[in-house]
Amino acid sequence: MLPVDKPAGPTSHDAVAIARRALGTRRVGHTGTLDPFASGLLLLCVGPATRVAEYLSGLPKTYQAVLRLGEQTDTDDRTGTVIAASDVWRTLSRQQVAEALERRGGRQWQVPPGYSAKKVAGERSYQRARRGESLTPGPVQVTVESIRLTSWDPPFAGFETTCSTGTYVRAIARDVGIDLGACAHLVELRRSAIGPHSVSTAIPLQVLQESAFQGRLLSALEALSHLPRLDVDDVSATAIGHGRAIPVPAGFNAAAAMVVWQGTLLAIGAARDGRLQPAKVFDA
């Protein structure tokens, strides 16, 4: 896996294309899209690691963001057209804004932006929105694990949030504006972490274009360090290699766990009722 720091401007697909050229392989994919105007961490799975992408895409994500009060856009971010305005922000205090952000925390139903990748009647909603169709995507359940105000420079409010995959930070900005009786949209967004992986250890995309990525690839064990780990002996390794379940220690239960043999990722499997059944087996 290759952690990359994407600048604002390129799409996530652009980043994958650059990685394919730099690494000389078509087998590159990412584990979570970033909007073009956003920057920050992309986890690129390379070669055989593309088989473990599903175990990374569901990790919570941490963002540093800035919203602007006083204007609402049709995309809920700075790339859109202003469709409503309000001067209510002039009467708001730092405390009121902080509390409105805090109310966005927890498990909740969130309406995705009209311009989003969510499908409506089998078609991406942004495709229908670009044709001028008026639509509101159905709400989806998301979890905002934490959210806090980090700066207040009216009409701009900076905040940090850690949220579940599928959460739209620009929708959070929109809804904070609604909660405050004002208008709001997102003007800055940077993803600083995906699960245990931090953007501080990522390689800038500009450097990747220069092919200076040697030594920056993470092993599968490093990439999946958030999963429970089960080290096995030769007998269990042979069984796993043939797709058979193996016994596990009492109390070892996990929807997905790494099976490690001689320091190498052998498989990923589900452990319950004292047995681990391999779901994916890798070459040792």
Residues labelled as active-site residues? 35
Whether residue 143 contacts residue 106, with contact meaning beta carbons closer than 8 Å, is answered with yes
C-alpha neighbours within 13 Å on the C-beta side of residue 260: 16
